[in-house]
Structure 1
Amino acid sequence: MNSSKIDQSVLYGENAAFIEALYDNYLHDPYSVAPIWRDYFDTMQADQASVEVNLQPSNGASVAVDETTEESPKIVDVAPIESDDRKQVAVLQLINAYRYHGLSQAKLDPLGLVQPVDVPELDPVHYGFTEADLDKVFNSGSLVCPEHATLRDILQILRDTYCNSIGTEYMHISSVEQKRWIQARLEGQRSTPNYSDEYKRHILERLVAAEGLERYLHSRYVGQKRFSGEGNESLIPLLDGLIQRAGASGVQQIVMGMAHRARLNVLVNTLGKMPANLFQEFEGTQPHDLPSGDVKYHLGFSSAIQTQGGVMRLALAFNPSHLEIVNPVVEGSARARQHVLKDLVGDKVMPILIHGDAAFAGQGVVMETLNLSQTRGFGTGGTVHIIINNQIGFTTSDTRDSRSTFYCTDVAKMIEAPIFHVNGDDPEAVLMVGELAFDFRMRFHKDVVIDLVCFRRQGHNEQDEPMVTQPRMYQIINKHPGTMRLYIDKLVAASIISKEDADAMIEAYRTAMDAGTNPNKSVHYYDHKATSAWAPFLKPVKWNKSIKTGISLATLKKLAKRLTDVPADFKLHSRVEKIMTDRRAMGEGKLLVDWGMAENLAYASLLQEGHGVRLTGQDSGRGTFFHRHAVIRDQVVTDQGERIYVPLCHIDPQQADFVVIDSMLSEEAVLGFEYGYATTQPNELVIWEAQFGDFVNGAQVVIDQFIASGEAKWGRLCGLVMMLPHGYEGMGPEHSSARLERFLQLCADYNIQICIPSTPAQMFHVLRRQVIRPLRKPLIIMSPKSMLRLKESTSRLEDLAQGQFYPVISEVDDLDAKKIRRIIVCSGKIYYELINYRKEKNITNMVIIRLEQLYPFPHQEFQAEIDRYKNAKEVIWCQEEPGNQGAWHRIQHYLLRHMWPNQILDYALRVSAASPAVGYAARHKFTQNELIEAAFRDKI
């Protein structure tokens, strides 16, 4: 085929890219292209030497092309397909096939266990080409190479690009711009880096450090667990390259998360932890300054690295053995840092997440966190994911058992993230992939995945014997010389370094280890807490320190007016209009304050005082129970779409930021995100609200491993608030209980606060106390449901102005203390049913005390209440929950501690049950009435 004919045909020249995009669409959905082109491609397919061609992506993902991004030639008539035309189209098909399936032929596995997959579409014979066609000239379409090239050259370019140490998946991305960008980078370099000799020596130095630390620890601390990084040493130069490139591009902070595999190596060789300190942890001689502490391969670290763009701060998040659970925590921390720096797109702060292959494919929080990545309230401008793919999860290496997808990375396709697979034994290819991933992230602000295919030299930990379960794999591993040695041989063969110089480099690193020093001179050390916003909270403060949370009536009225000012052209829903009218009256003192208004006033006052507020949950803008209305929607919808108004964003010109987010349907990832945010930003009120408190059990790992124990294990302070709607209203097993008993079981070392406010004023003060008091502990609020509209559960505006949060609320009626024979103690909604029953039955010898804070227990305040009624013979604990749930088992020892010797302790509650609540309305009503009556029934 000659050049002139190529230029004249509608299939070639300037039209080639357009035709290629159309054909890409046709392959996915023939009806996505115009009929004239559909007929043309149908004819082409039928006429192609009875060869069946199917280049649809193996995962079935959409590859629709936005034709508006291409220059579309105005072609009216389509000529019949000539023989040469068919071959030209076949060339375009071949190029497309390599972009989709070249990965199947890539040399990715250092062990050679994974054999190339035979894909017919990658063979020219599949399209009817013969040996004689190899030297014919064709138009190369959008392939990054000369416009006209022989088939032989085109094949060589494709194989060099897609079938060597780098295998790529990006054709599942719907954006033509993103696909073209990746193609330009890969095909322009043929996926082959070209580094200077000096930089290659630097790569070797990083490999020497990676292997040197592992070998040193292996010989010095025989058999001790460290979750070795041997077999994936290329991770260290990869991180080094990412950090340096990020610094040169203006990134100021990187937040990292990873599980235990190779963590010690990253701590020392990337973040600069002193080996001497690590050795103390192995030897058990490190300072014991925390209540429990944690094992060395869970610990976090903060430092700073000198880059071409200046000093960059690094933080590795603490992580328990729950592997991927750190993912949302890192994202939340990154988002908080971006908020402080006013980094709206993520150019200054970047997250890096390091995964295991089995965990990335196997744990649901991975999907949940990926799903957060492009949402408005949780996006961080893209995350660089690195998978340490050692091809084995604990002892499961057969992919028929470990996952249902071909690659461990396939879940990332749900967000159209590009995936770069790379052979860990080719460190230069690894560095190139790191550069490509970083640049893509910065260009498109999307997540990107690096699949570092490597191996695990030791067992799952250093006490395991992997030959027992993987004899074939470990026969190969035991003969593998190691990535460092392979790279030394390569550089020696290229006369870039001598064997003696390499040996000297290895010896120098070991000498530094013997001295306990870190040879990485680019590391800057600093006291992270002392130099951060956390400094004011490091001094010991008692939880019951008196703090003024009330604000003046004048200020409250001013805030109330701002909360109820709605743009004149906003048409409110009739129910919302009624709520806003009532709130205006509340602000003027004409109506008692309800829960929704009190909560909004708490936020408004904090915002005015300079404290940001971040509230997330599955219906937090409106409120699950139609009570908050922090976001107001115009009921008149125009062609421009819906309009919203957020009164809390218009309190004061100098106010702090208010953010309210209706989050996706996730508990685990969203709560983990908010924990990460709150541990990074102590001066904001950070709240996560469950749709129903019951659903919090979907995030139990976050509660157990971070919220309840993070301070005891890692010294990690956190002021996160969890609002969990709780109360028995006959709504069944999943809409009644926030599992109060589980939180109480986690209480120790003054680690968390558990409150059950019974009035709007109490909610107002406890929210303000959380920020104003110089103490940061997680706060769990058993928040109301039916109480939100209970007329008795309201407060005066003066209660917000003059009061404070009361851990115990005394008897409200004027009863003769000398005649009291029973003290009923309760928390939450049940109080109003108890007091109504007492009034109905005209009972005057029993008082009802509300315990508003269950932990830390308010010993002094509760003792004062007991002492007030010394003639009482009984103390009754009343709760709605079954006896094996709720507070009873965790609270009784506190009650007994303060009772007089002549008093007895009893209870009124539902009988123990396997389910938290019944689903039968009649049975609920019966048991509710029964326990209320039991609270007043004679027992002695």
Structure 2
Amino acid sequence: KRAILQRLIAAEHFEQFLHKKYPGTKRFGVDGGEALIPLMEQIMKRGGQLGLEEIVIGMAHRGRLNVLANVMGKPFTTIFAEFQGHSSTPGDVLGSGDVKYHLGTSSDRDFDGNNIHLSLTANPSHLEFVNPVVIGKARAKQLQRGGVESTSVLPLVLHGDAAFAGQGVTAETLMISELSGYRVGGTIHIVINNQIGFTTMPKFSRSGPYCTDVAKMLSVPIFHVNGDDPEAVVHVARIATEFRQKFKRDVVIDMYCYRRYGHNEGDEPAFTQPLMYKKIAEQVPTRKKYAKQLVEEKVITAEEGEALVAEFDAYLEEAFAATKDYAPNAADFLGGAWEGLKVASGDARRGETAITEDELQKIGKVLTHVPEGFTINHKLQRVLDAKTKMLESGEGFDWATAEALAFGSLLDDGYAVRLSGQDVGRGTFSQRHAIWYDQDNEERHIPLRNIAPDQPRFEAHDSPLSEMAVLGFEYGYSLADPKTLTLWEAQFGDFSNGAQVMIDQFISSGESKWLRMSGLVLLLPHGFEGQGPEHSSARPERFLQMASEDNWQVCNCTTPANYFHALRRQMLRDFRKPLVMMTPKSLLRHKLAVSSIDMFTDGSTFHRFLWDNDQDKLAPPEKIKRVVLCTGKVYYDLLVERRDREIDDVLLLRLEQIYPFPQSALAEELRPYKNADVVWCQEEPENQGYWFFVDRRIEAALGEAGGKAKRPSYVGRKSASAPATGLMSRHMQEQAKLIDEALTV
């Protein structure tokens, strides 16, 4: 009981101290919900007794500073220094930073001799979207500690009442919690139920009686508890922890409390809830109520209670005084599992990605071997026969085979591979076949789990029909495990915007804001083939608009071998960056989109741009009249048409990596063609695709090259609101027109 009181004192007086020292500054305090702190401490204490070794925490802004200080053990001096405008990271660490109530941290706490590592995940202001990120991180950490059935790692997620009920990502994250590819043996959810959302009353913000009704789909315990009764709160925390550790399922604690001030401390809540805030003004703080109760129970005297308060206040003043000498500690964001990795620098980033022919053949045999007694689908057998022919001839390696060779070789090198997304086992376009099904009994065979006796994990998980939670999960996984190639594939690239918050707020900017690297790969099927506005574009323009500060890579590979090297370099470098890969559809089976064995083996590498297939059949460089720059599938349309017309004075050059843009290398490649004009050709509408991104960058490369052309001209579809037409006839007309315009000098 004394311990509960001490935690309530710490929670209440920390907030009051900030309120006094930094009046009017946003802190999103937990005033009115101070019982959160003893609640969390009880989970850690009881969890430690039941084998818990690590807790991955996710929470929004409400009460975050209090949790950082009183649960995570972040030094009070550091927090006060941040309020005074100091950075919490050393000056030599680059990054844009974030507001103090978004930042994450990690620490170690000891409870009754049980050491527990605590990790608070950084997050944006977008409420609830950190939930699947936390779950993904926890899954990776569980596997590092022995498996997902281990109860040594707990995801602990804190919610607000309005957000828990209102945000769809909450339901998505709950929905994946029992699925084999995503389960983490249960999450403890704490709802800080202020009974209001900013200015909106519950009767206007949900249709059910409880904000936690969405969790009923799981048939797990949901505890509703009065936050003004600290002992009941702690009791519920203990039961919830025991339930999770025993049954390995989610559990929800709905702690009813109130928000003493407005949404933030400068807000006036009485504009919209005058009666509610009259009642709140009359409320005696939880700490005072509980101290009075303990005095009446003769657990402490009134003087002892006041002494505890005075002692903590003195501690705060001492920490505040120390801010004048504050200097941040060295950044530790590349410790632990990230040991040995560095911040990316320089332009030479290919990595050593080639493999030997012996290794390729070894992996190829595994990929084509049908186990004895396994009844394989007859159509799949034809696919395997084609792969066998590739291996024997050394020619005709297609996209799916190159991908499998990349996965297999990384597994052979000691890196795990995790692939997730809708229908990824077979592949949306029946191209991958990472999982085989016996035609008699539906038993599964996964060839890539048989590369070597002690190989790392290969996982291919068909995800539910969710983009947001699943992509968030995979991003979280990649944060915790840099030695696993983590990939998320959209069914079509068009559907990736169902996870736009994850892309905008986490993947594109997490390293800059929070110093958190990720090597996540996004596979986004893209290409204009007459399938209409929802099955044509992965919206590359959006990814390129966000491309800056070396935040990620955006690629559109046109050969299986280059795709192979792009995947391998994700692991075989001393840093991690997200990779946004526009992947093919029709090119999966295009007779020209193939690679030979020497493109995978010794001496081969990733190329940021690729040369003309018919370069030796063209006129000499000084007689080339036009250089057509492009990326992706349109290259093959241009190549076929140029062959049909027997044109020899138009050179085709394709960008395989659009960002980081290879400006100097491109200038060197363009230098011999001093008399040529330069066009950029794309299938996408002018206001979409790549044009607005590459235009001035190509201009800069042309300036370096010193030829006649000073700036590229545009060839492609005209600007449009929708990505593509839904009429095949119109698509064909548009495609023929842009190909003709690109090749006609």
**Whole-angstrom CA distance in 1 between matches of 2:320 and 2:449:** 51
1:905 is aligned to: 712
1:931 is aligned to: 738
2:516 counterpart of 1:710: no
1:242 is aligned to: 43
**Whole-angstrom CA distance in 2 between matches of 1:534 and 1:268:** 25
Comparing 306-315 and 777-786, the one that deviates more: 306-315
Q: CA deviation at 1:589?
A: 2.6
User: Which amino acid counterpart does residue 411 of structure 2 have in structure 1?
Assistant: L
Question: Match for 1:559 among 345, 352, 363?
Answer: 363
**Whole-angstrom CA distance in 2 between matches of 1:270 and 1:804:** 48
1:228 is aligned to: 29
TM-score by length of 2: 0.96
2:589 is aligned to: 789
2:531 counterpart of 1:727: no
Unmatched tracts of structure 1, length 5 or more: 1-199, 520-524
User: Which amino acid counterpart does residue 318 of structure 1 have in structure 2?
Assistant: A
Does the 8 Å contact 1:810/1:865 carry over to 2? no
Equivalent residue of 2:117, what SS?
strand
| Structure 1 residues 309 and 350: CA distance shift in structure 2, 3 A | farther
Equivalent runs, 1:188-199 vs 2, <5 Å: none
Q: CA deviation at 1:535?
A: 2.2
Comparing 308-317 and 258-267, the one that deviates more: 308-317
Q: CA deviation at 1:546?
A: 4.2
Equivalent residue of 1:324, what SS?
coil
Residues 873-925 of structure 1, C-alpha deviations (whole Å, 9 max, x = no match): x1110001000000000110110001136314211110100001111111111
Residues 484-536 of structure 1, C-alpha deviations (whole Å, 9 max, x = no match): 000001001111111111111111111111121899xxxxx997535412121
| Structure 1 residues 823 and 527: CA distance shift in structure 2, 3 A | closer
User: Which amino acid counterpart does residue 332 of structure 1 have in structure 2?
Assistant: G
Question: Match for 1:501 among 304, 324, 349?
Answer: 304
Question: Match for 2:423 among 613, 616, 619?
Answer: 619
Residues 319-343 of structure 1, C-alpha deviations (whole Å, 9 max, x = no match): 1000100000000000000111123
Residues 679-706 of structure 1, C-alpha deviations (whole Å, 9 max, x = no match): 1100110000000000000000000100
2:406 counterpart of 1:406: no
Comparing 588-597 and 819-828, the one that deviates more: 588-597
Q: CA deviation at 1:308?
A: 2.8
User: Which amino acid counterpart does residue 902 of structure 1 have in structure 2?
Assistant: K
Does the 8 Å contact 2:350/2:605 carry over to 1? no
Equivalent runs, 1:39-50 vs 2, <5 Å: none
**Whole-angstrom CA distance in 1 between matches of 2:690 and 2:712:** 14
1:360 is aligned to: 164
2:725 counterpart of 1:918: yes
Does the 8 Å contact 1:204/1:488 carry over to 2? yes
Q: CA deviation at 1:588?
A: 2.1
Question: Match for 1:265 among 53, 60, 66?
Answer: 66
**Whole-angstrom CA distance in 1 between matches of 2:532 and 2:197:** 40
Equivalent runs, 1:407-446 vs 2, <5 Å: 407-446=210-249
Q: CA deviation at 1:442?
A: 1.2
**Whole-angstrom CA distance in 2 between matches of 1:828 and 1:682:** 29
Equivalent runs, 1:536-935 vs 2, <5 Å: 536-589=340-393, 591-637=395-441, 642-802=442-602, 803-813=604-614, 814=616, 815=618, 816-872=620-676, 874-899=677-702, 900=706, 902-903=708-709, 904-935=711-742
Does the 8 Å contact 1:419/1:451 carry over to 2? yes
| Structure 1 residues 771 and 434: CA distance shift in structure 2, 3 A | same
Q: CA deviation at 1:543?
A: 5.0
**Whole-angstrom CA distance in 2 between matches of 1:590 and 1:890:** 38
User: Which amino acid counterpart does residue 477 of structure 1 have in structure 2?
Assistant: I
1:197 is aligned to: none
Does the 8 Å contact 1:756/1:853 carry over to 2? yes
**Whole-angstrom CA distance in 2 between matches of 1:790 and 1:893:** 32
Q: CA deviation at 1:712?
A: 0.8
**Whole-angstrom CA distance in 2 between matches of 1:501 and 1:826:** 76
Q: CA deviation at 1:291?
A: 2.5
2:20 counterpart of 1:219: yes
| Structure 1 residues 593 and 518: CA distance shift in structure 2, 3 A | farther
Equivalent runs, 1:312-351 vs 2, <5 Å: 312-351=116-155
User: Which amino acid counterpart does residue 178 of structure 2 have in structure 1?
Assistant: Q
CA RMSD of aligned residues (A): 1.5
Residues 697-733 of structure 1, C-alpha deviations (whole Å, 9 max, x = no match): 0000000100001011011111000000000111111
Equivalent residue of 2:164, what SS?
helix
Identity %: 48
**Whole-angstrom CA distance in 1 between matches of 2:342 and 2:648:** 49
Which aligned segments of 4 or more residues in structure 1 are displaced greater than 6 angstroms?
none
Does the 8 Å contact 2:422/2:462 carry over to 1? yes
Does the 8 Å contact 1:275/1:518 carry over to 2? no
1:477 is aligned to: 280
Residues 169-225 of structure 1, C-alpha deviations (whole Å, 9 max, x = no match): xxxxxxxxxxxxxxxxxxxxxxxxxxxxxxx00000000000010000000000000
Residues 96-153 of structure 1, C-alpha deviations (whole Å, 9 max, x = no match): xxxxxxxxxxxxxxxxxxxxxxxxxxxxxxxxxxxxxxxxxxxxxxxxxxxxxxxxxx
Count the aligned residue pairs: 728
**Whole-angstrom CA distance in 1 between matches of 2:503 and 2:376:** 39
Residues 717-762 of structure 1, C-alpha deviations (whole Å, 9 max, x = no match): 1100000000011111111000000000001100000011100001
2:325 is aligned to: none
Structure with bigger gyration radius: 1
Does the 8 Å contact 1:302/1:528 carry over to 2? no
Question: Match for 2:187 among 366, 375, 383?
Answer: 383
Does the 8 Å contact 1:290/1:713 carry over to 2? no
**Whole-angstrom CA distance in 2 between matches of 1:590 and 1:716:** 41
| Structure 1 residues 236 and 801: CA distance shift in structure 2, 3 A | same
Does the 8 Å contact 1:512/1:518 carry over to 2? no
Q: CA deviation at 1:540?
A: 4.4
Where relative contact order (Cα < 8 A, 6+ residues apart) is larger, the structure is 2
Equivalent residue of 2:571, what SS?
helix
Does the 8 Å contact 1:543/1:775 carry over to 2? no
Q: CA deviation at 1:863?
A: 1.0
Equivalent runs, 1:51-450 vs 2, <5 Å: 200-286=1-87, 287=89, 289-308=93-112, 310-397=114-201, 399-450=202-253
Does the 8 Å contact 1:825/1:875 carry over to 2? yes
**Whole-angstrom CA distance in 1 between matches of 2:307 and 2:384:** 76
Does the 8 Å contact 1:254/1:312 carry over to 2? yes
**Whole-angstrom CA distance in 2 between matches of 1:561 and 1:362:** 51
1:460 is aligned to: 263
Does the 8 Å contact 1:419/1:448 carry over to 2? yes
Equivalent residue of 1:559, what SS?
helix
| Structure 1 residues 539 and 270: CA distance shift in structure 2, 3 A | same
Unmatched tracts of structure 2, length 5 or more: 323-328
1:492 is aligned to: 295
Residues 785-827 of structure 1, C-alpha deviations (whole Å, 9 max, x = no match): 1000001000001111131110011223212112101000000
Does the 8 Å contact 1:292/1:713 carry over to 2? yes
Does the 8 Å contact 1:762/1:805 carry over to 2? yes
| Structure 1 residues 526 and 270: CA distance shift in structure 2, 3 A | farther
Does the 8 Å contact 2:524/2:583 carry over to 1? yes
| Structure 1 residues 698 and 263: CA distance shift in structure 2, 3 A | same
**Whole-angstrom CA distance in 1 between matches of 2:102 and 2:437:** 46
Q: CA deviation at 1:581?
A: 1.1
Comparing 898-907 and 921-930, the one that deviates more: 898-907
Equivalent residue of 2:129, what SS?
helix
